[in-house]
Structure 1
Amino acid sequence: MTLVVLGLDALDPDLVDPDEHPNLVLDHHRAIETLVSHTGEPSTHELWPTIITGLTPADHGLELDDDGVAWGNPLLEAGSSVADYLLPDALQSRIGAWLLTNTGADAFRTPATYYADNDIATVFDGREATAIGVPNYVVDPDSEDREHNLRRSLGDLFERDPESTGGHTSSDPATFYEQCMEMAMVRIARARRGVRGGRHELVFAYTSGLDLIGHVTYDMPALQMAAYDELDEFVGELRADLDEGDELLLVSDHGLQDGVHTHEAMVAGTDRAMVEDIGSVLDVADAIDAELDATDHASREEDPERQRGDGTEVRDQLEDLGYL
């Protein structure tokens, strides 16, 4: 049995239509509570470490400063410390936006070793698990996949602008949309590969595509909803790869409407009990652990009756597209 957890940044319970998006609600779904950072809104940087540990940001230690700039990059941390004493808030925000847009800094690249070094337990500990693009849980800091590469190369397709409605602007929203959906596609394809390979009891993948699109389509709601429609199809392909006994859990860190993070997240799953056990982002880790502890998770490599091919189809597709 494999438990697949797919993190869909900014999947909003108010924007998911069960009739139009059956693969985004699965068999059971619900809105859940999220946490608000020092900046006044939910933060991806803080929330995914919370989701994989069950700890508040204060307890796991990966927190944003009040100016939202101190994100684990030495340049940004130093600049933020100085700015706290010397610069007014408005100017700090502008400088932080420029740094994050122009220096290639990545807010979400804390190595996985951080957790062991600080005696913080995660859902991956002691498991046959794979983490695919989980923010602030980077297994190999020297390696990047297509989503990372695309995000770094967005340029003026996605520029930080604290004065705009969504906090960002795009020189070409249609092209930006296509790149974001490509990012989502490759991460979900990698999750499919993890399932088909049969070597893991936990496959945990993440994509930021929906969040990025939402930040620049606040005045183009049709484009944002097109992303939900396509994402539903992508998740449907993943769902079709599940074997008997496999489970799928979708998790978001917050919603996103009118270009701004909302204070409500959601979960959806193929297992009712797991969904019912999650009322907050703080509950996700315990629900994952409970599901894995309660079920036989012999890999297909160890259990010949569960083997179903070598899973090369998805890998071949990714290689053909230049993703691997």
Structure 2
Amino acid sequence: MTVVVLGIDALDPELVDPEAHPNLTLAAHRSIETIDSAAGEPSTHELWPTIITGLRPKDHGLTLKNDGVAWGNPLLESASMLADYLLPDTVQARIGAWLLTNTGADAFRTPATYYAENNIKTLFDGQEATAIGIPNYVVDPDSEDREHNLRRSLGDLFERDPDTTGGHSSADPYEFYEQCLEMVMVRIARARRAVRSGRHELVFAYTSGLDLIGHVTYDLSTLQRSAYDELDEFVGDLRKDLDDGDVLLLVSDHGLQKGVHTHEAMVAGTNKEMIAGIDSVLDIRAVIEAELRAQDHMKDSEKRSFTEAGGTEVKKHLEDLGYM
């Protein structure tokens, strides 16, 4: 039995339709509360650590500055220290955007070791688990998967632009859309392989493609609708790999409409009780862990039943042979 969690950045509860998107709404779905950053809107940088720890950003320590840029990378952090003394906030934000677009700096690459080093528990602790692409939980900081490489290679297809509504612009939104969908497919394919391996109690994969599309194509509504339709098909393929006892949970950190993060996140799942227990991004870790404990209990019960049944069968066989 496996709990499969698919983190879909910016999956918006107001943009899914149970009839059109049965694989994005599953047996139950709902909007949940999220948390705003210091910049005034929910932040991917802060929220995925919150989702895997159950802690508010101020408690897990991976937070944005008021300028909306995550300065955890040493290059950015040094620039921030100077900027705090020399530059107004608006100029700091523009410099941060330029650095993130034009250098190798990456705001989402905090290693997984950060949590143990700071005595922070995550839902992966003590589990046979695999974490695929989760922002600020990087299992192997020295390697990058195909989605990460695709994102780095977007170039002028995805540039930070503080003057636009979505904060980003693209030289070719349609080509950008295709690359983002490829990013989604890569991560879901990795999740499917992990599920099929049968080696994990917990498979947690993340993809950013829907969020990127929403930031750039907000004035091309057909593209955003198409993204939801195609994502529904991809998740449907993932569902085909699940066994009867497996559980699928979809999680977002915020919604996204008209190019801007909204103040609602979303969950959907094959287990209605799990969905009923999640009111906020702060609840997700506890609900997943409760399901994992329940599945452990079921496995123990199955083992006991098998042993008891096997013992009775052996005893009867010995009696038939005249040894008992």
Q: Do both proteins adopt the same fold according to a TM-score greater than 0.5, normalized to the shorter chain?
A: yes
Match of 1:22 in 2: 22
Can you give the 5+ residue segments of structure 2 that lack an aligned partner in the other structure?
Answer: 307-324
CA distance in 2, matches of 1:46, 1:71: 12
CA distance in 2, matches of 1:178, 1:226: 11
Match of 2:72 in 1: 72
Please tell me whether residue 277 in structure 1 is matched to residue 277 in structure 2. Answer: yes
Q: State whether residues 16 and 25 of structure 1, in contact with CA within 8 Å, keep that contact through their aligned partners in structure 2.
A: yes
- Partner of 1:181: helix, strand, or coil? helix
Task: List per-residue Cα deviations over 1:158-216 (Å, max 9, x = no partner).
Answer: 00001101000000000000000000001001000111000000000000000000000
* Aligned residue identity for 2:20: E
Shift of 1:244: 1.2
- With the length of structure 1 as denominator, give the TM-score of the two structures: 0.91
Structure with the higher helix share, 1 or 2? 2
What root-mean-square deviation, in Å, do the aligned CA atoms of Structure 1 and Structure 2 show?
1.4
Q: State whether residues 217 and 223 of structure 2, in contact with CA within 8 Å, keep that contact through their aligned partners in structure 1.
A: yes
Task: List per-residue Cα deviations over 1:259-298 (Å, max 9, x = no partner).
Answer: 0000000000000111111000000000010000111386
CA distance in 2, matches of 1:70, 1:12: 23
CA distance in 1, matches of 2:112, 2:102: 26
* Aligned residue identity for 1:259: G
Match of 2:217 in 1: 217
Please tell me whether residue 140 in structure 1 is matched to residue 140 in structure 2. Answer: yes
Can you give the 5+ residue segments of structure 1 that lack an aligned partner in the other structure?
Answer: 306-324
Q: State whether residues 12 and 254 of structure 1, in contact with CA within 8 Å, keep that contact through their aligned partners in structure 2.
A: yes
Q: Which residues in structure 2 correspond to 1:145-164 (within 5 Å)?
A: 145-164=145-164
Match of 2:262 in 1: 262
Shift of 1:91: 1.1
Match of 2:123 in 1: 123
Q: State whether residues 69 and 77 of structure 1, in contact with CA within 8 Å, keep that contact through their aligned partners in structure 2.
A: no
CA distance in 2, matches of 1:78, 1:17: 46
Q: State whether residues 67 and 90 of structure 2, in contact with CA within 8 Å, keep that contact through their aligned partners in structure 1.
A: no
- Partner of 2:183: helix, strand, or coil? helix
Shift of 1:104: 2.1
* Aligned residue identity for 2:221: P
Match of 1:167 in 2: 167
Q: State whether residues 256 and 262 of structure 1, in contact with CA within 8 Å, keep that contact through their aligned partners in structure 2.
A: yes
Match of 1:4 in 2: 4
Q: State whether residues 251 and 267 of structure 1, in contact with CA within 8 Å, keep that contact through their aligned partners in structure 2.
A: yes
- Partner of 1:295: helix, strand, or coil? helix
Task: List per-residue Cα deviations over 1:127-167 (Å, max 9, x = no partner).
Answer: 00000001100010011100000011011000000110100
- With the length of structure 2 as denominator, give the TM-score of the two structures: 0.91
Please tell me whether residue 188 in structure 1 is matched to residue 188 in structure 2. Answer: yes
- Partner of 1:30: helix, strand, or coil? strand
Match of 1:312 in 2: none
CA distance in 1, matches of 2:99, 2:134: 23
CA distance in 2, matches of 1:184, 1:69: 24
CA distance in 2, matches of 1:169, 1:226: 19
Task: List per-residue Cα deviations over 1:112-137 (Å, max 9, x = no partner).
Answer: 00000011000000000000001100
* Aligned residue identity for 1:263: H
Q: State whether residues 24 and 268 of structure 1, in contact with CA within 8 Å, keep that contact through their aligned partners in structure 2.
A: yes
Match of 2:316 in 1: none
Shift of 1:89: 1.6
Please tell me whether residue 40 in structure 1 is matched to residue 40 in structure 2. Answer: yes
Match of 1:289 in 2: 289
Q: State whether residues 67 and 80 of structure 1, in contact with CA within 8 Å, keep that contact through their aligned partners in structure 2.
A: no
CA distance in 2, matches of 1:79, 1:178: 34
Match of 1:247 in 2: 247
* Aligned residue identity for 2:2: T
* Aligned residue identity for 2:135: P
- Partner of 2:99: helix, strand, or coil? helix
Q: State whether residues 45 and 70 of structure 2, in contact with CA within 8 Å, keep that contact through their aligned partners in structure 1.
A: no
CA distance in 2, matches of 1:6, 1:178: 20
CA distance in 2, matches of 1:70, 1:215: 18
CA distance in 1, matches of 2:222, 2:40: 27
Q: State whether residues 128 and 201 of structure 1, in contact with CA within 8 Å, keep that contact through their aligned partners in structure 2.
A: yes
Shift of 1:70: 3.5
CA distance in 2, matches of 1:292, 1:55: 19
